[in-house]
Structure 1
């Protein structure tokens, strides 16, 4: 697909992602969907309202009525889509930096669109084959209130409130100025937790930290956990479909360890789980221990969703799936990544024992991630060619499902182009931190030299 990647389409707002482009995307979606009514939601980004206005105009021009939901976490917008049985356009760039924005398309079942559905919309977009309503047949636009409250109510009904409340937990929360600022503080209080917050005011400039919940952006949360003697720290990304955790000592918990711990609590023999090619050995170990199966996809929620749907169509049980970035699916609840729901399920475990004990069995691995920016297609292609040559020359098992993953038995390294930013990402994991760093650094230097020669 030229337009829609692994998680929608994104770019620098008012530069790569302009109102004119969003208008066209909305016109193509309205045309392809051919329904009477579509909703629009957004996260807190400064350019969100501008782009949501463009999307509303595009939809209305095709004769589609529009429900404006305002600022809502992406999983809250998906809840609304499923409840109302209408598609939703979500204006969000998720974890990307503040200058970015994007478009995510959700079907009337509350699930991100499959690749085949995205391709149909993309065809209409590229061909500029839009439905054009007569002046008196254009869609009407209405503001819808209370969606965040309804979403929180649905969350409360879906988790074990009694177990969490009885534990009298203190939760340190960092919504990162994103859409989760409107829902997660109240949600965790309704669960009976004492909640202390940082970066909890909605602000599209993201003054306290960048939206991505990675260690370098979350130092304040670690300090808050320690200062308040909290039982757990929870961080979201910009649209709150992810949850990342800190333990009771204020130490960052690798997302891969969290996924492994939750998977261990969910998986049974004969089950299947789905993850991406950057899967940690932690999850592999859990799958092997319980006698389950692991399916790997290219990175990105769209790819994981598609594979889950294929497996469930064959009557496979998939109780949990996701990636180590905090984006986890519980398909029995809803086929969407939901940071608040994931956090609540983790709190059910924390009610029984400390976070450090929960994730202890999944420690012992070191993870390294490096990014290399590029400014042109030539630089990107040169780096990917170098990664291919590096991979084929290595004495390791090679997986090319999404980039180049080299498995050495005791460690692995992956190089792949980002689906949402002009970056080539490098991931490495090993039992020994030096080994992981050496693998990442070796790939990094190879790609950096290729970029310089491009």
Structure 2
């Protein structure tokens, strides 16, 4: 037996909790680290009961099978039973675990670079909270000898079947008849499931960009190459829309009939409207068109990360709101309570999901007899853009934000007079600056990788993108 102090292990390995699960370099995520995290989750949260089933899934990263084996070893060492759901979208695993009333572990790095991976943990009730994370980090566990050559468990396909059924039963079987929908498949864990669902709803599906090489598609920072691909695919294949997701299928990427990708927070707004939500919970980084639209009785702003959105949703449900949904700037959509859509039941799924918002956008376009692009016509004309500086040390990010919060000279040295006077500083998460002219620049260190993210909002897409480019260029020059 080897005794492991999780806090010490985190410091030594570099594998720590970010905005969504424990993540680190693949080289750091050794069998010992992954097994220890699994034991800390099960023992630290009091979930390790003899014979307790634990749902386990993974994405398509080449490093994921080895991590799954280590997590399975930890589940068995805790006296629990592995319920291996194979390769599937994260929300599919979460939905299955909620229905079965069992905890779950998802091996995924989501959209972060190829050389990294992660582990996401779920109680039987849903995603773990920040308090749960703290309990895991404070745990001490004892590891038995780990054998790295164990075979993957037999796959239980029930989770994927339930997830597909969730959406094929929610909509009419002819919803997408006559519609030609492209799927940007790349290495998404949702690619085959998406095809199955869209085909079952009558769509003529065109597969695009499928690869066995992992693609770290970030739905908040679409690459210039993917922008061009969208335009080319839409024209070449005469598509009505293009649907994609990030690596583990919990963040959507949706393009209209011209191949232009919609921003995730606008997709979230449209989905919340489709569901006739009373209350929307969303991070501070999302588009202010959500409030300006006047579509929702309440809009609650939180820090960035699904645990904060979920905590806000729970508070609103406890306060008696009849329908609560949440979404993030990446488009990941959360359903806080059971709803009825077109007379059909939609059960709660308080974790990020990509399929529901994609189908909601397609359904709205079909109902209105128009194109996906037409859905944006009635919304307030506020545009957001975002990008990131990669390999930007967290220490540099924190030094930058500290100086900008407290020193007007630092602000002037970075932007000069190009953005005008600052009207408001919002410190909810990072630093969000609102200027006298209504433009917004928001800087925040990533919780998952050494990156600095920049979000901007303005009255035109060109101006929002220019604000992001200018800000990141000036910061890179300064650091």
Gaps of 5+ in 2: 1-6, 11-15, 339-346, 412-420
Q: Which residue of 2 is the match for residue 320 of structure 1?
A: 325
Asked if residue 216 in structure 1 is aligned to residue 231 in structure 2, the reply is no
Q: Which residue of 1 is the match for residue 371 of structure 2?
A: 354
CA displacement 1:40-98 (0-9 Å, x = unmatched): 10000000001111111122112222122211110111122112211111000111122
CA contact (8 A) 2:324 2:335 kept: yes
Q: Which residue of 2 is the match for residue 13 of structure 1?
A: 26
| Cα distance change on mapping 1:377 and 1:243 into 2, 3 Å | closer
Pick one of 5, 30, 38 that aligns with 2:42.
30
Q: Which residue of 2 is the match for residue 64 of structure 1?
A: 80
Distance in 2 (CA, whole Å) between partners of 1:411 and 1:318 is 31
Q: Which residue of 1 is the match for residue 295 of structure 2?
A: 290
Distance in 1 (CA, whole Å) between partners of 2:142 and 2:35 is 13
Distance in 1 (CA, whole Å) between partners of 2:90 and 2:120 is 9
Could you tell me the TM-score, scaled by structure 2's length?
0.83
CA displacement 1:306-327 (0-9 Å, x = unmatched): 1111211121234432023121
Distance in 2 (CA, whole Å) between partners of 1:291 and 1:8 is 30
Pick one of 396, 400, 409 that aligns with 2:423.
396
Q: Which residue of 1 is the match for residue 13 of structure 2?
A: none
| Cα distance change on mapping 1:217 and 1:26 into 2, 3 Å | farther
Distance in 2 (CA, whole Å) between partners of 1:102 and 1:344 is 28
Distance in 1 (CA, whole Å) between partners of 2:152 and 2:389 is 43
Gaps of 5+ in 1: none
**Corresponding residue SS for 1:385:** helix
The 5 A counterparts of 1:22-421 are 22-32=34-44, 33-35=47-49, 36-109=52-125, 111-124=126-139, 129-130=140-141, 142-147=153-158, 149-162=160-173, 164-165=175-176, 167-200=177-210, 203=212, 205-206=213-214, 209-213=215-219, 214-216=222-224, 218=226, 219-267=228-276, 271-286=278-293, 289-290=294-295, 292-331=297-336, 332=338, 333=347, 334-352=349-367, 353-362=370-379, 364-374=381-391, 376-389=393-406, 395-408=422-435, 410-421=438-449
The 5 A counterparts of 1:419-438 are 419-433=447-461, 435-437=463-465
RMSD: 2.7
Distance in 2 (CA, whole Å) between partners of 1:90 and 1:390 is 43
Could you tell me the TM-score, scaled by structure 1's length?
0.87
Distance in 1 (CA, whole Å) between partners of 2:257 and 2:471 is 35
Distance in 2 (CA, whole Å) between partners of 1:345 and 1:433 is 24
**Corresponding residue SS for 1:252:** coil
| Cα distance change on mapping 1:290 and 1:131 into 2, 3 Å | same
Distance in 1 (CA, whole Å) between partners of 2:102 and 2:208 is 35
- Count of residues paired in the alignment: 432
Distance in 1 (CA, whole Å) between partners of 2:376 and 2:390 is 33
Q: Choose between structure 1 and 2: higher helix proportion.
A: 1
**Corresponding residue SS for 2:282:** strand
